[in-house]
Amino acid sequence: MEKNKTEVVAVLDENSEVIENERIVQFSRPYSFEGKEYEEIDLTGLDNLTASDMIAAQKVLERSGSFSVMPEMSLEYACIIAASATSQPVEFFKGLSPKDAIKIKNRVTGFFYGAD
């Protein structure tokens, strides 16, 4: 009996560039936050999140006055989740350039909706 094999050869970003590790987001340019330069952020902590973390993120979003039928698709929710998955505060993500903020949003939503 032959088993079905699924093999990932490469993951591409929105610019069709190969991503070595899909949980590491490369910034378009160095990003300075609290006196330190960052060229990337590691989102591997997404794998350790729970539904409780998502509920807490939604509560933070609601307390800020934001409302969304699908919060997991919003940029602010993605920033809150990314902060939960890393050692950075949400302000780190809110200070990113628009291009890099969208990269974060795409990786977070891709994590939620990606194939198992």
Provide the mean pLDDT of the chain: 85
Q: Is the pLDDT of residue 4 over 90?
A: no
Residue 25 has pLDDT above 90, yes or no: yes
**In this predicted structure, what is the pLDDT of residue 11?**
53
CA–CA distance, 29 with 38 (Å, rounded to integer): 9
Of 55 and 19, the structure prediction assigns the larger pLDDT to 55
Using alpha carbons, list the distances in angstroms from residue 19 to 9, 38, 52, 96: 11, 17, 29, 20
Helix (H, G, I), strand (E, B) or coil at 65: coil
pLDDT in tens, 47-102: 999 999 999 999 999 998 887 788 889 999 999 999 999 989 999 999 999 999 99
- The residue behind tokens 């969208």 is 102
* pTM of the shown model: 0.78
